[in-house]
Structure 1
Amino acid sequence: MKRVIDLIKNKYFLVTVAFVVWMLFFDKNDLYTQYEHRQQLTKLEQERDFYTKETAEVAKELDELTSDPKKLEKFAREKYLMKKADEDVFVIVTEKKDDN
């Protein structure tokens, strides 16, 4: 018991404990802030990976559209409902049914 009391009275121990408590809870870079920054970093890395993948897919599609006229015509017909002068375009829209 005397050893614990001596340890508590030791000024170096008290300063060290105060420093550790300050760094863990009160500093601008405390544990909670570090945890939030780590979560934000993980989220941003996931977004980066997603957009990198999407960019690669779009670049591939662009390359296909610029190199193949048939694919370009198909793309224009599907996305922009373009047609030839002697054709008619019919757009069929299906309605979603609610289960309520």
Structure 2
Amino acid sequence: MDKSKIKSILIKTFSNKFVISFLIFFFWIFFFDQHSIWERKEYKSKIEALSKEKDYYLYQIKKDKNRIHELKTNRENLEKFAREQYLMKKKDEDIFIIIEKE
């Protein structure tokens, strides 16, 4: 086939109103629609960020459950926790708070 025949076939194909309608529809859906490529990328990045956040919070929940179990089962751990977190003390003790600069 020579170039003129190929050119005439392409012109006939792309001048067809159905092909033009399909191409316009395709580009509209692909780039401008609510479910375009950019929207899908944004949704994917949001899903990944939320998955990481979910994993972090599940880890924190597990860690806190272990800490609560330790506090409920061991009196010494409970006393240590109360002294460190709430600055509780016995009657004859003094508390010194040391703040370290970073």
Q: TM-score, normalised to structure 1's length?
A: 0.88
CA RMSD of aligned residues (A): 1.2
Other structure's SS at 2:18 match: helix
CA distance in 2, matches of 1:40, 1:5: 44
Shift of 1:93: 2.1
- 1:37 partnered with 2:43: yes
Give aligned pairs, total.
96
1:65 counterpart (50, 68, 71): 71
Shift of 1:19: 1.4
Other structure's SS at 2:99 match: coil
CA distance in 1, matches of 2:48, 2:23: 32
Residue range with higher mean Cα deviation, 57-66 or 15-24: 15-24
Q: TM-score, normalised to structure 2's length?
A: 0.86
Other structure's SS at 1:4 match: helix
Structure number with bigger Rg: 2
CA distance in 1, matches of 2:39, 2:99: 50
Gaps of 5+ in 1: none
CA distance in 1, matches of 2:54, 2:66: 18
Shift of 1:94: 3.0
